Amino acid sequence: MSSRRSRDAGGIRGREAAAGWLFTAPALVILGLFLALPILMAAWVSVSDWRGQGSPFSSSVGFVGADNYRGILSAESGLPARDFGTALRNNFWYVVLVVPLQTILSLFLAVLVNRKVLRGRGFFRTAFYFPSVTSSVAIVIVFLFLFSGSGAVNKSLSWLGVNGPNWFADPRGVAHVVLGVFGIDGAPALLSDNGFLSLSWWEWLAGPSVAMSALIMLAVFTTSGTFMLLFIAALQNVSGEVQEAALLDGASGWQRFRFVTLPLLRPTLFTVLTLGLIGTWQVFDQIFVGTQGGPAKTTITPAYLSYTSSFLNNRWGQGAAIAFILFAIIVVLTLIQRWVLRERGVPKRKRYVPDAAVVGTTR
Amino acid sequence: MTTRAPRPAAIALATATVLAMSACGGGGFDEGSDPTGQASGPAELTILIGSSGPAETDAVTAAAQAWSEESGNTATVTAAQDLPQQLSQGFAAGSPPDVFYVSSDTVASYAENGSLEPYAGDLSNVDDFYPNLREAFTVDDQFYCAPKDFSTLSLIINTDSWAAAGLTDEDIPTSWDELSAVAEQLTTPDQVGLTTSTEYQRLGAFMAQAGGGLVTDGTATADSSENVEALEYVQSVVELGAWSFAADLDSGWAGEAFGNARAAMTIEGNWMIGAMSADYPDINYQVVPLPEGPAGAGTLTFTNCWGIAAQSDNIEAAKDLVEFLTSSEQQLEFASAFGVMPSVESAADQWRADNPDFVAFLDQADVAVAVPNQVGVSDVVADLNAQLEGLSSGDPQAILDSAQSNLEAIL
């Protein structure tokens, strides 16, 4: 397809291609050197027995095939596989809760501060955006204080008569805690004897630990502002005429939001969900600064595990393998999400074009 | 023709990539595999330390300078922000520091991948090091690196709380029963009797006192009845309400809870001396040996050594430097500068004379056991620590069983 098109455009304009390559060369070289090359090196490390000694391309480093991958996926390898399963479980719950919450909250905030009648809009916009421009390390440290056993959060909870947990020291899974309230303390044999990736289904169902829940709140708090900004930009693109037309048709406020505004926001929604999905699967800094994987490994994530196995345990192959599995997970989930959010009733050719104009013309 | 235009560019890029990769490859390989690449003439050594603070950095820098003047070589000291990470980067890049700190639980992992030069057996003062410290840095019968100093765990008592509870020197606990009794007596609404962290690096002392340990003569013994007994004892005192773990007292470590007077006793090492005078100068305290368990006295020891990189070009000069740094006189200087205990027996008497209040730390050197140093044990201990966080309500046998199966997988 593309080659035919470029052939059609050829002839007299042939030299333009060379010039194009010349002008993009600096960017290509930089990307190749600092992006493509490290990725290729990491790919090699993930199938080699390199132990962090000298160059991974030296003759003493051997090819071990899928051994590193087997080491973290096969239940027979014991601790590393269990750690990886735990990390995936932790991160899964983190993603499942953070992505929808931050998307809803940021959309809500955007709609709120986009209203022309709101007094002091500029102030609120700045206030909501502020956490996003603050150093995440600083925010994590503030949260560590807020959520300490005798911290501000538990103090406020005590006014409501609630005895708050010792957040960052509490490894109990939230779902287990809730089930415990209803008197379900152990798992049925079906759940505890079977499992996936070295963890029993009962452990998978634990939900995020109390400590992870605090990190989930932190993530929602810090990222909502950024995504709010994206939504505001999109909302300002929704023309007043469309709203007026809906108003004349007798649509209520909610109907206008649900059937007019929201469909027009679909491209932005796609962006926000994709960025959210990628960002949350890669969560690292909050873990590194805040909890170091504790309590009881309930906040280790694949990204953090990749770091510790490489840098602290000198198992670089395994660290790289974890990174590639994480990469695969993100790509697959992004594709699934793209498919779910695709434009229905649009000619196939135009389906994946995230362009508001397409949406507008088909309505 | 125009369709071909991208090809030369793509080929050029690919060639550049391959060249860059092979360039990356060449350097490290040559340095790493050439055993005769020793430099001649005055050596320039780099020393990377994981410093506890300016006092340690200054003392090591001064010592390195003194050696430089004496030997005609030069030695530069760098305090690492994150020692394991910076070391890993150095090794991967083929340019590690010549001399650096290595902790006893990571020595095997560095030894296994060939990072460390096994030099310590050649030192002239080799027999002066404490035998259990030598063992901590011995991997496959090779004594890899010279212990630079060490710490042991002792019982630290807040003397004001002790007096307020009507206790005297007679009451200093010498058995587990006495420990739980005084802990109970010291517990008030504002203050718990005893605090520690939940990690193996503290509770392991009780396993040693019960006669247990994670690894005995190279075999996994984590699920032994002695270890279970130790953890059940800890649980029983916790159930009495006389022992709280540091995290439950909102403290990052037990010393913080002790310093804030939220606990009357704690079990920590000699780093407490510096921490107490720097952060909590108003707390009066006393250091006594840990009580004896069913199998007698026991405590844990922690130690670092002076590692020398196998890739170093100046191994001989580095050995000379380490000999200087581990000499009795120099270790006593370090001891007075930042409160460590010398790793050589010849410095013990002088250290006792200099630190009469803290002799308990040194007196336990003979009964102290090091954390096992086999490759992968640090992961098992990390996993054990994760499970020990749930000790107050957990089943000691189940916790130790899982540590046992993890240990069996790596030994």
If pLDDT is split at 50, 70 and 90, which confidence band does B113 have? confident
pLDDT grade for A352, boundaries at 50, 70 and 90: low
Distance CA B290, CA B209 (A): 9
Of the candidates A9, A57, A295, the beta carbon closest to that of B24 is on A57
Tell me: ipTM over 0.90: no
Average pLDDT, chain B: 87
The yes-or-no verdict on residue A215 having pLDDT over 90 is yes
Q: What is the 3-state secondary structure (H, E, C) of B238-263?
A: HHHCCEEEHHHHCCCCHHHHHHCCCE
Q: Which pLDDT band, with edges at 50, 70 and 90, does B19 fall under?
A: very low
Q: What's the pLDDT band for A348 if we cut at 50, 70, 90?
A: low
pLDDT tens digits for B336-361? 888 889 999 999 999 999 989 999 99
Q: Identify the band that residue A360 occupies on the pLDDT scale cut at 50, 70 and 90.
A: very low
Cis-peptide, bond into residue A295, ω within 30° of zero = yes
Inter-chain touch B17–A37, beta carbons under 8 Å:
yes
B19, B82, B250, B410, best to mutate vs chain A, most A CBs in 10 Å: B250
Q: Which of B197, B379, B399 to mutate to test the interface with A (most CBs of A within 10 A)?
A: B379
Supply the DSSP symbol for B191: B
Does pLDDT of A2 surpass 50? no
Evaluate whether A341 touches A269 at the Cβ level (below 8 Å).
Answer: yes
In this predicted structure, the answer to whether residue A200 has a pLDDT above a threshold of 60 is yes
- pLDDT at residue A363 above 50? no
DSSP class of residue B116 equals B
Torsion of Cα atoms, A188 then A189 then A192 then A194, to 10°: -130
Chain B closest-CA separation from residue A63 CA (Å): 16
Q: Cα–Cα distance between B310 and A21 in angstroms, integer?
A: 46
Which of A7, A28, A314 lies nearest to residue B113, judging by beta carbons? A314
Contact A58 B25 (CB under 8 A): yes
How does pLDDT run across B305-337, given as a tens digit for each residue? 999 999 888 899 999 999 999 999 999 999 888
Taking residues A71-79, report their average pLDDT: 82
CB contact under 8 A, A295 and B389: yes
Calculate what percentage of chain A has a pLDDT beyond 90.
Answer: 38
| Chain A contact for B34 (CB, 8 A cutoff) | no
- Give the residue-averaged pLDDT of B153-170: 93
| B383 pLDDT above the threshold of 60 | yes
**What pLDDT was estimated at residue A347?**
60
Distance in angstroms between the alpha carbons of the first and the last residue of chain B: 64
The pLDDT tens digits of the residues spanning A295-336 come to 888 999 999 999 998 888 888 999 999 999 999 999 999 899
CB contact under 8 A, B20 and A33: yes
Q: What is the mean pLDDT of residues B232-257?
A: 91
* Cross-chain Cβ contact B1/A14 below 8 Å: yes
Say yes or no to pLDDT of A357 above 80.
no
Q: Is A59 on the interface with B (CB under 8 A)?
A: yes
Check CB contact under 8 Å for B386 and A6: no
Instruction: Tell me if chain B has a CB within 8 Å of the CB of A43.
Output: no
What is the rounded average pLDDT of the residues B145-162? 94
- Fold of the B154-289+376-410 domain: D-Maltodextrin-Binding Protein; domain 2 (3.40.190)
Domain spans, chain A = 71-173+208-362
B142 touches chain A (CB under 8 A): no
Mean pLDDT of B64-80: 91
How does DSSP classify residue B269?
Answer: -
Task: Give residue B243's pLDDT band: very low, low, confident or very high (50, 70, 90).
Answer: very high
What is the reported pLDDT for B2? 40
> What pLDDT is recorded for position B217?
85
A32 and B13 in contact by Cβ < 8 A? yes
Answer whether residue A42 shows pLDDT above 50.
yes
Assign B27 a pLDDT band (cuts: 50, 70, 90): very low
For the domain spanning B44-151+302-365, the CATH number is 3.40.190.10
Quick one: pLDDT at residue B288?
A: 95
Mutate to test the interface with A, among B29, B33, B410 (most CBs of A within 10 A): B29
Q: What is residue A345's predicted lDDT score, i.e. its pLDDT?
A: 65
Residue B64: is its pLDDT beyond 70?
yes
Mean pLDDT of B199-206: 94
Q: Do A14 and B24 touch (CB under 8 A)?
A: no
Instruction: Assign A123 a pLDDT band (cuts: 50, 70, 90).
Output: confident
Q: Taking residues B77-103, report their average pLDDT.
A: 90
**A to B CB pairs, distance under 8 Å:** 141
B138-157 CB burial, b ≥16 within 10 A, e <16:
bbeeebbbbbbbbbbbbbbb
- DSSP annotation of B324: H
Mean pLDDT of B274-278: 87
Pick the CATH number of A71-173+208-362 from 1.20.140.10, 3.30.70.100, 3.30.2350.10, 1.10.3720.10: 1.10.3720.10
Interface of B with A in 233-262 (CB under 8 A): 247-250
Residue A295 contacts B, CB cutoff 8 Å:
yes
Q: Using the beta-carbon criterion (under 8 Å), do B389 and A294 form an inter-chain contact?
A: yes
SS3 letters for chain A? CHHHHHHHCCHHHHHHHHHHHHHHHHHHHHHHHHHHHHHHHHHHHHCECCCCCCCCCCCCCCECCCHHHHHHHCHHHCHHHHHHHHHHHHHHHHHHHHHHHHHHHHHHHHHHHHCCCCCCHHHHHHHHHHHHHCCHHHHHHHHHHHCCCCCHHHHHHHHCCCCCCCHHHCCCEHHHHHHHHCCCCCCCHHHHHCEECCEEHHHHCCCCEHHHHHHHHHHHHHHHHHHHHHHHHHHHHCCHHHHHHHHHCCCCHHHHHHHHHHHHCHHHHHHHHHHHHHHHHCCCHHHHHHHCCCCCCCCCCHHHHHHHHHHHCCCHHHHHHHHHHHHHHHHHHHHHHHHHCCCCCCCHHHCCCCCHHHHHHHC
- Whether A312 and B84 lie within 8 Å, measured CB to CB: yes
Residue B25 has pLDDT above 50, yes or no: no
Distance from C-alpha of B207 to C-alpha of B381, rounded to nearest angstrom = 14
pLDDT band at A65, cuts 50/70/90? confident
Query: Average pLDDT, whole number, for chain A?
Result: 85
Residue B324 pLDDT: 93
B282-309, pLDDT tens digit by residue? 999 999 999 999 999 999 999 999 999 9
Q: What is the mean pLDDT of residues A54-73?
A: 86
| 8 Å CB contact of B17 and A294 | no
Question: Per-residue pLDDT tens for A267-296?
Answer: 899 999 999 999 999 999 999 998 888 788
Cβ–Cβ under 8 Å, residues A83 and A302: no
